[in-house]
Amino acid sequence: MRNIMNKSLFTLVLTSAILSSSISSYAEETPLQKKVLAVMEMDHRNDADTKRDPNRMPALALEFFGLKQNMKVIEFAPGDGWYTKILAPLLKDKGELYLAYKQEWLDSLDDILKLEALSKARKLPMELGWNDKEYRYELGKVDFGMSDADMLLCIREYHNFNSKDKARFNKAAFDALKPGGIYVVVDHSRRHMAPETWELRRREDAVKAIIDIQNAGFKIEKSSDMFYRPDDELRYEVGRRTVTGNTDRFTLVFRKSK
């Protein structure tokens, strides 16, 4: 019993130390990072949100993406709103946030969008479905209805399109962004040229993604290893207990030429 208690105490101390270290490493770096850290402490974020913070490192990530608080940003597939809860307060006063998703799925966010901190986020309904057989999105007509967005975020969602729809989505992203606009893709890593299997269905080949996105007219500006995870062997489904919440992810930032 004593050994179990000691182990639990050690785990708690280690987790706290890691979290403190990751925050202190960038807490004083930039004004944006300070704003992000302040938003992370706001009451509208729940325990499930904060539990993911050490793995997703939003202050470090958003700074790397090139986010500015006066930007017009499209967030594709906000899911349960984890990133929305950070982006909306950041962009509330000087910027704009558009949530691109199927109308039905957007409506599931109504409760959080009623909150003052998120009240200026706007829904951007898309023709988007889900193929239960292929376990992928089905993309209908894709048009974001604008050509002056500063940034489009596709975070851990790019793998959910088939090859044809990836090309269509990339073209729509290009059209939605103004000259000089930024297209960010973060996804679960797949080993280059690994075969398409059920086990790897939610992983993406970064090399292929770079080629395909550049074919849509973008230029790659930078990449980051901030989500490199050496213990992810890149061969298991990302929902497996051995890797879930700790997958290796690539981070790519593209720019539309001015």
pLDDT per position as a tens digit, 193-222: 999 899 999 999 999 999 999 999 999 999
Average pLDDT over the chain, rounded to whole? 90
Per-residue pLDDT, 29: 82
pLDDT band of residue 1 (cuts 50, 70, 90) is very low
Residue 125 placed within a domain: yes
Q: Tokens in use for 224?
A: 């980051």
Residue 78 placed within a domain: yes
Residue 11 placed within a domain: no
- Residue-number span of the structural domain to which 41 is assigned: 31-256
Q: Read off the DSSP letter of residue 246.
A: -
Q: Indicate whether 78 pLDDT > 80.
A: yes
Please compute the mean of the pLDDT values over residues 95-103 and round it to a whole number: 97
By CB neighbour count within 10 A (0-12 exposed, 13-18 middle, 19+ buried), where does 54 fall?
middle
Residue 17 placed within a domain: no
Expressed in angstroms, the distance from the first to the final Cα of the chain is 64
How many structural domains does the chain have? 1
Residue scoring higher pLDDT (28 or 225): 225
Evaluate the CA torsion angle 186, 16, 82, 176 in order and state its sign. Answer: negative
43: CATH: 3.40.50.150
Residue 16 placed within a domain: no
* Contacts with 95 (C-beta within 8 Å, 6 or more apart), sequence order: 68, 69, 70, 71, 72, 73
Residue 14 placed within a domain: no
Q: Indicate whether 98 pLDDT > 80.
A: yes
- pTM above threshold 0.75: yes
